[in-house]
Amino acid sequence: MTASRVKWAGLAVVLLLAAYLPYMVGPFYISLATQALFFGLFALSINLISGFGGMITLGHAGLMGVAGYGLAILSVNEGWGLAAAIVGALVATVLVSAFFALLVVRTRGTYFVMVTLAEGMVIWGIALRWSELTGGENGIPGVPKPDFADAYWQFYYLVLVVVAVCTVLIALLVRSPFGLGLKGVRDAEDRLAPLGYNAAVHKLIAFTISGFFAGVAGLLLAMYNSFIGPSDVFFLASAEGLLMSILGGIGTVSGAFAGAAVVVIVTNWVSTYVDRWQTLLGVVFVLVVLFAPDGIAGAWQRHVWEPLKRRLGRGAPAPAPAAATETRPREEVRS
Amino acid sequence: MSTEEFQLQLLNGVTFGALLFLVASGFTLIFGLMRIVNLAQGSLYLLGGYVGLSTVRATGSFWLALLAGAAAVGLAGLIVERGLLRTVRGKPMSEILLTVGLSFIVADLALATWGGDPVTLEAPPGLDTSTGVFGITYPTFRLAVLALGAIVAIGLWYLLERTRVGAMVRAGVDDRETAAALGINVGAVFTGVFVLGALLAGLAGVVGGAYLSLFPGADAEILTYSLVVVVLGGLGSLRGAIAGSLLVALIYTFGQSLVPDLAYFVLFAPMALILIFRPQGLFGRAG
């Protein structure tokens, strides 16, 4: 068996397990899994620009929220049908993402982080203060789910399918020539122009696509909670998304879901035993940055996958630890 | 808007600008020298405010609170710089993420300690009255905030431009390696600047607790203002922090009185314009 076959077999097992999950565990764990899936998609959307493009964003919950609020406003306040509201919300998200992208493409590194943070907080400000539109502090309750996904397990399957499709699309995108160009932005932005790449356009498109997927996650979030409110788009929500993506292993597809699972478990399950779970998240954040910058996926690569690959032998000769370090976000050179 | 209303909003804008400057100057100072974007600056502000609150409750003195808030947060800054940031020096992204992790922790512990209800500090006796300015009566405390902002601005300018320590700091900003080779203890200068930046945030927290109010989320709100300030003014520039603070505060106050629902959105407009036409900020250096 070659290494790539092991990978495909592993993926098949994970998918089968995911599909079979509602037959094995009760509603509580299904709700955890549902959240891990759509937050995983959210983390993956952050990963698309932060991991593969090297641009750390701290405002993505804002984009997630544009979709969530869009759905809530159009369906609850304006009385649109669900399908039309979903389309409208996604169009709004793409437009806002493109606008935000226009503002950040000329910045890089630390400036990029600050501007995305400010962008996200503007959405939060609107969510909190423009009560007529957004319900202010009370948010908008009563966000509908599709009729066929009313029961918790039906909704789980809906989320599973949507997230799986989005994940495949993102994985294809990352492996496409466009994805390679994106890695070029991360690794050597200044060298792209002589090669005929336009880095700014690349960043713009990547940011907008990333915003779209964050929007899909936002729709699922609003449906899952039957609610959207200011705390869903707050700075800490953006930071949590980034934590998921770093914790899992930034720049990897599977890591986003691993990271999301850990954060969801801490916020939902550990929180029933420990009051200060948010402090715990912060401590995890600090520890990951200090000791495991390549996250769970990095540790997996180093300690499980690479040794396994070597043992299997017949796979491609392993360029051992490089795989883990390659995927780290680019650290800018300091003057 | 009547003339009187206009004057009132103008005063509100300028005094609020002075408060923003206290936070943003620390932020920009830390960045200017260390190239660290301290996203915990808002948390330090909130922490300072809450320490001030506890001090007022214990002693009844606002002045003691001012001292305690600044000192406690300065100490926190020392621990953070020596204990955490030093270990990831030279990796800007790790530094940013560390400060984000810290803001999680501070926000949660502050909520556990001081609760979730908004609280306000009383202005100290002598400043809790009103003063006539241009024919309108205006809270004396807010004028005092303006004076404090001016004093801090002049003090920082003097420190950076006219003293030996300031020369070391500027040398460190321009060329760290040469400065170190000349025998300047860059590490100590770094720590000093970070502590000073934290101290200013703590001071601003106590003042802000009396000017605005303290509540969970005030940290992120004040951080957002600071970010817009430095994006407008140019990161690392003292003049930029002054101009940016005044601009942001004026836009916000007038925005809030004219289009209250969209005050945040109005704040965003100048930032968008700056980013499109002058990404390095009004006073920032290109590149």
Residue A321 near residue A45 (C-beta atoms within 8 A)? no
Whether residue A114 and residue B37 make contact (CB cut-off 8 A), yes or no, is yes
Give domain B3-277's CATH number out of 1.10.150, 1.20.1260, 1.10.3470, 1.10.10: 1.10.3470
Whether residue B261 and residue A111 make contact (CB cut-off 8 A), yes or no, is no
Query: CATH no. for residue A226?
Result: 1.10.3470
Residue B97 near residue A50 (C-beta atoms within 8 A)? no
Write down the domain spans for chain B: 3-277
Asked whether residue A101 is domain-assigned, the answer is: yes
pLDDT digits over A260-306, tens only? 999 999 888 888 888 888 898 899 888 888 888 788 877 777 778 88
Q: Which residues of A31-58 are buried (b: 16+ CB within 10 A; e: fewer)?
A: bbbbbbbbbbbbbbbbbbbbbbbbbbbb
Taking CB atoms and an 8 Å cutoff, what residues of chain B touch A119? 268
Q: Does B118 touch chain A (CB under 8 A)?
A: no
pLDDT at B286: 52
Asked whether residue A284 is domain-assigned, the answer is: yes
- The beta-carbon neighbor of A122 closest among B91, B104, B265 is B265
- The beta-carbon neighbor of B96 closest among A106, A110, A279 is A110
Share of chain B above pLDDT 90, in %: 49
pLDDT at B257 over 80: yes
Q: Does A270 touch chain B (CB under 8 A)?
A: no
Residue A239, helix vs strand vs coil = helix
Whether residue A106 and residue B231 make contact (CB cut-off 8 A), yes or no, is no
Asked whether residue A91 is domain-assigned, the answer is: yes
Asked whether residue A331 is domain-assigned, the answer is: no
Which residue did the predictor score with more confidence, B17 or A177?
B17
- The beta-carbon neighbor of B101 closest among A115, A124, A289 is A289
Asked whether residue A102 is domain-assigned, the answer is: yes
Whether residue B102 and residue A282 make contact (CB cut-off 8 A), yes or no, is yes
Q: What confidence tier does B285 reach under pLDDT thresholds 50, 70, 90?
A: low
pLDDT at B202: 96
Instruction: Give the global pTM.
Output: 0.86
Asked whether residue A47 is domain-assigned, the answer is: yes
Residue A250 near residue A298 (C-beta atoms within 8 A)? no
Taking CB atoms and an 8 Å cutoff, what residues of chain A touch B92? 109-110, 331-332, 334
Q: What confidence tier does B20 reach under pLDDT thresholds 50, 70, 90?
A: very high
Chosen for mutation from A110, A247, A284 (greatest number of chain B CBs closer than 10 Å) is A110
Q: Which residue has the tokens 């997630």?
A: A64
Q: Does A293 touch chain B (CB under 8 A)?
A: yes
Q: What 3 state SS string does A114-157 have?
A: HHHHHHHHHHHHHHHHCHHHHCHHHCEECCCCCHHHCCHHHHHH
ipTM of the complex: 0.85
Asked whether residue A213 is domain-assigned, the answer is: yes
Q: Does B92 touch chain A (CB under 8 A)?
A: yes
Q: Which of B78, B90, B79, B85 is nearest to B100 (CA)?
A: B85
How far apart are the C-alpha atoms of B215 and B114, rounded to whole Å?
9
Q: ∠A61-A36-B221 over CA atoms, to 5°? A: 25
Give me the domain span that covers residue A184: 3-326
Q: Does A246 touch chain B (CB under 8 A)?
A: yes
pLDDT digits over A317-327, tens only? 544 444 444 44
pLDDT at A334 over 50: no
Chosen for mutation from B224, B232, B276 (greatest number of chain A CBs closer than 10 Å) is B224
Asked whether residue A333 is domain-assigned, the answer is: no
How far apart are the C-alpha atoms of B247 and B249, rounded to whole Å?
6
Q: Does B37 touch chain A (CB under 8 A)?
A: yes
- The beta-carbon neighbor of B275 closest among A103, A283, A331 is A103
Q: Does B275 touch chain A (CB under 8 A)?
A: yes
What is the least distance, in Å, from the CA of A82 to any CA of chain B?
Answer: 28
Taking CB atoms and an 8 Å cutoff, what residues of chain B touch A104? 275
pLDDT at A328: 44
Taking CB atoms and an 8 Å cutoff, what residues of chain B touch A334? 35, 90, 92
pLDDT digits over B193-239, tens only? 999 999 999 999 999 999 999 999 899 889 989 888 988 888 778 88
Whether residue A334 and residue B217 make contact (CB cut-off 8 A), yes or no, is no
pLDDT at A333 over 70: no
Q: Pick the residue from chain B with its C-alpha nearest to A111.
A: B231
pLDDT at B230: 87
Cβ contacts below 8 Å, chain A against chain B, sum to: 147
Q: Does B20 touch chain A (CB under 8 A)?
A: no
pLDDT digits over A191-242, tens only? 777 777 777 888 899 999 999 999 999 999 999 999 999 999 988 899 889 8
How far apart are the C-alpha atoms of B17 and B11, rounded to whole Å?
10
Which residue did the predictor score with more confidence, B251 or A109?
B251
